[in-house]
Structure 1
């Protein structure tokens, strides 16, 4: 896989981030309709933020998201916006999720990847989907 560099008005960039985050208390609540809706919400918010979703895997107790992002968005902003938006909507649409003190933990994992390791991360995330 070879991604092309992207251009903005004053910059040229290739910023890929691999995020992993978990529901509060690592509860396996991301199944069935909740998982489907979460995927829709992440893709919707990614579009608003001008992120290119390279890979997405939702497991019962964690989420992997691999995105290409513009340089004007820091990784913490990406997570803040995606986690905040998905938590609000999911807890409104699935009232039983309100039993958790919060939808997501405050913590998350993020790593950067360029062209060389992007395919490795993509294969890893795909393997997560098939192992569940």
Structure 2
């Protein structure tokens, strides 16, 4: 994820995941189209995960896809980044 962000001139500030989704805090330049960045993150990570874990994905796929075609993005322009990073790092499903 970090190298993909760097390719776009973006910075991956925080990353965390759960069994069925991930949370990323990315700072990216205004000239970058968010949809292009997200599609690249999904495509590259899918290829790497499929290469490294080919026998462990059958129950995790969306049809034939690793990632859902959708994504959620929100702006955190006014929030202190430390608070957003803390939120992302603490994402866990309740027991």
Gaps (5+ residues) in structure 1? 1-41
1:110 pairs with 73, 80, 87, which one? Answer: 73
- Rounded to whole Å, the distance in 2 between the matches of 1:98 and 1:66 is 25
TM-score, normalised by the number of residues in structure 1: 0.59
TM-score, normalised by the number of residues in structure 2: 0.79
Structure 1's consecutive aligned runs of 4 or more residues displaced over 6 angstroms after TM superposition are none
- What residue in structure 2 maps to residue 126 of structure 1? 89
Give how far 1:73 is off: 0.9
More helix by share: 1
Count of aligned residue pairs for this structure pair: 89
Larger radius of gyration: 1
Measured on the aligned residues, the alpha-carbon RMSD in Å equals 2.0
- Rounded to whole Å, the distance in 1 between the matches of 2:74 and 2:25 is 10
Task: Write the mapping of 1:3-82 to structure 2, written as runs, cut at 5 A.
Answer: 42-82=1-41
Gaps (5+ residues) in structure 2? none
More strand by share: 1
